[in-house]
Amino acid sequence: MQPASCPPANSTELLTRAQQLAGFTLGELAEMANISIPANFQRHKGWSGQLIELWLGAQAGSKPQQDFPELGIELKTIPIDDFGKPLETTYVCYAHLTGIAGIQWQQSNVFNKLSRVLWLPIQGSRDIAPAQRQVGSAFIWQPSTRQNQQLQQDWEEIMDKIAMGEIEHLTARHGEVMQLRPKAANGQVLTTAVGADGQQIKTRPRGFYLKKNFTAAILKQAFALPPQSP
DNA sequence: CCTTGATCATTT
DNA sequence: AAATGATCAAGG
């Protein structure tokens, strides 16, 4: 068993590849891929995601698009506890803070990224060493009508405040299922945004994140037992 | 600096 | 304990 050498041809192949990783530990997958394993993630926060990208044949990179553009599918690993509940929020994409007037939800990066997602749960409790963390069962998700509405509502509220020059009043407390939070290498990084009087200001870069309540519902739905036949 | 991969660490 | 705000690494 070894990492994929090319991108999957279709979504079925992608899902099959992902599901074949179930039950392996990150340490086993790293060893088979000839990659060194960090003792912790303090300085390797994106390690799991990049390891899985390698295994699934994602054309690695930091391009602002889906991981599998031909399939229209985004890959997200998600750390879960012993009860299958998410341990962290889920990063969606970078948030542009200027030139956003007139952008519609259906044309947004968030909508595009979340239109189809391959979720891969991975044990994430800090008392389990990275090498020992087990990969769970992957599944492909598309937002339901209601989930799309929840996302759209949060997105529109947040984007409206950004456009109105209220970025400095926007906190992670805004949004029911999705929030805006800092996203940068450190607090010294600054980008341009719109100020209260429409002038240009400098502020910390931000990104969109899915809150745990939202991803917990996705996981619950995916792993709910189907109705039993009598 | 922008954007990806996220988790860490401090505050509530 | 949970949530918010801050941070680490790498490619472009």
Token pair 């990049």: residue: A50
Q: Is the pLDDT of residue A175 over 80?
A: yes
* pLDDT of residue A64 exceeding 90: no
Largest CA distance in chain A: 66
A94 touches strand B (CB under 7 A): yes
| pLDDT tens, residue by residue, A177-212 | 999 999 999 999 999 999 999 999 999 999 999 999
Q: What is the mean pLDDT of residues A141-158?
A: 98
| Structure-derived torsion over alpha carbons of residues A40, A32, A19, A88, reported in degrees to the nearest 10 | 10
Question: What is the C-alpha to C-alpha distance for residues A185 and A35, in angstroms, rounded to an integer?
Answer: 24
pLDDT band at A227 (very low <50, low <70, confident <90, very high): low
Residue A70: what residue type? E
Is the minimum distance from the CB of A45 to strand C below 7 Å? Answer: yes
- For tokens 């719109």, the residue is A194
The pLDDT, as a whole number, for residue A59 is 86
A229 pLDDT above the threshold of 60? no
> Which bases of strand C have any atom within 7 Å of the beta carbon of a protein residue?
3-12
Cα A67 from Cα A57, distance rounded (Å): 9
Task: Please check whether residue A89 is in contact with residue A210, taking contact to mean a CB–CB distance below 8 angstroms.
Answer: yes
CA A216 – CA A35 distance, rounded (Å): 31
Measured distance CA(A156)–CA(A175) in Å, rounded: 10
CB A172 within 7 Å, strand C: yes
Whether A46 CB is under 7 Å from strand B:
yes
Cβ of residue A187 lies below 7 Å from strand C: yes
A40 touches strand B (CB under 7 A): yes
Unique residue bearing structure tokens 């599901």: A19
Q: So where are chain A's domains?
A: 11-223
Confidence at A228, pLDDT banded by 50, 70, 90: low
Q: What is the pLDDT of residues A93-144, one digit of tens each?
A: 999 999 999 999 999 999 999 999 999 999 999 999 999 999 999 999 999 9
**What is the Cα–Cα distance from A197 to A120, expressed in whole angstroms?**
44
Q: What is the pLDDT of residue A207?
A: 98
pLDDT reported for residue A132: 98
Evaluate whether A214 touches A150 at the Cβ level (below 8 Å).
yes
In Å, what is the separation between the CA of A26 and the C1' of C9? 19
List protein-proximal bases of chain B (any atom < 7 A from a CB).
1-9
A212 CB closer than 7 A to any strand C atom:
yes
Q: Smallest CA–C1' separation from A187: which nucleotide?
A: C6
What fold characterizes domain A11-223? ECO RV Endonuclease; Chain A (3.40.600)
Name A residues 161-180 whose Cβ lies under 7 Å from strand B. none
> Which nucleotide has its C1' atom closest to residue A171's CA?
C4
Judge if the beta carbon of A44 is closer than 7 A to nucleic acid strand C.
yes
Rounded-to-5 percentages of helix, strand, coil across chain A: 30, 20, 50
On whether the pTM is more than 0.95, the answer is: yes
Per-residue confidence band for A4, with pLDDT thresholds at 50, 70 and 90: very high
Asked if strand C comes closer than 7 Å to A215 Cβ, the answer is: no
